[in-house]
Amino acid sequence: MENIEEKNGIPLLGDDFPKIKVQTTRGIMELPAQFSGKWFVLFSHPADFTPVCTTEFVAFQNRYDKFKKLNCELIGLSIDQVFAHIKWEEWIKDKLDIEIEFPIIADTGIVAEKLGLIHPGKGTSTVRAVFIVDPNGKVRVIVYYPQELGRNMDEILRSLEAMQISDKNKVAMPANWPNSEIVSSDVIIPPATDIETAKERLSRAEKGEFKCLDWWFCHKKLEQ
């Protein structure tokens, strides 16, 4: 039972996450209102009772506490009936001794179509998509994977934490943060956009306030 506010096109970065009423393994929910004031990760998987998806759900569950410490909830999705989701959860508990604690959306296809999750040329199966949504209901990160490639949950956690730090400190995050080959665990100061600011950056670098490889490439330690 999905009801989606009409909007043409797949959500883009910075867009409001579509308002959706969904059936889940934890009851009826309205997104993004269900997680108001929190970040949430909505992730789709091709189908229940499949090997790669099973490894993903176990990996998500094993890191669920880490997501919650970052004020973030998880919610899965596939075009399967809620009964299939429940039986799959039971199988994971019985065979792997892992209890899935986050909800899974039982989609009829409406949500998947709206979010652009249907895998091209593979019937009604969904891609392995990830939407990271902020406490204001804005889509901040979107990642799509093919059916053949399982996700790296630590990278999703890294992306979530990095976005939160970026928002809080008004900085950018380097490649492989916090293990950048160039700036280590430092964060990037947004480039100067005028001559006066560029000169100021170099002057502040000389005073040791932060480091600059050039006026357009300055970085600093993350303030605790």
Q: Which residues are catalytic?
A: 53
Contact 187, 220 (CB under 8 A): yes
Q: Is 31 exposed, middle or buried (0-12, 13-18, 19+ CB in 10 A)?
A: buried
Q: CA neighbours within 13 Å on the CB side: how many for 52? A: 14
Q: Which two tokens stand for residue 224?
A: 């605790």
- Distance of alpha carbon 68 from its chain centroid, rounded? 13
Residue 19 is which amino acid?
Answer: K
Helix, coil or strand: residue 139: strand
With H, G, I as helix, E, B as strand and everything else as coil, classify residue 205: helix
Q: Please, how many CA atoms are within 13 Å of residue 1, restricted to the half-sphere of its CB?
A: 7
Residue from 103, 62, 55 nearest 82 by CA: 103
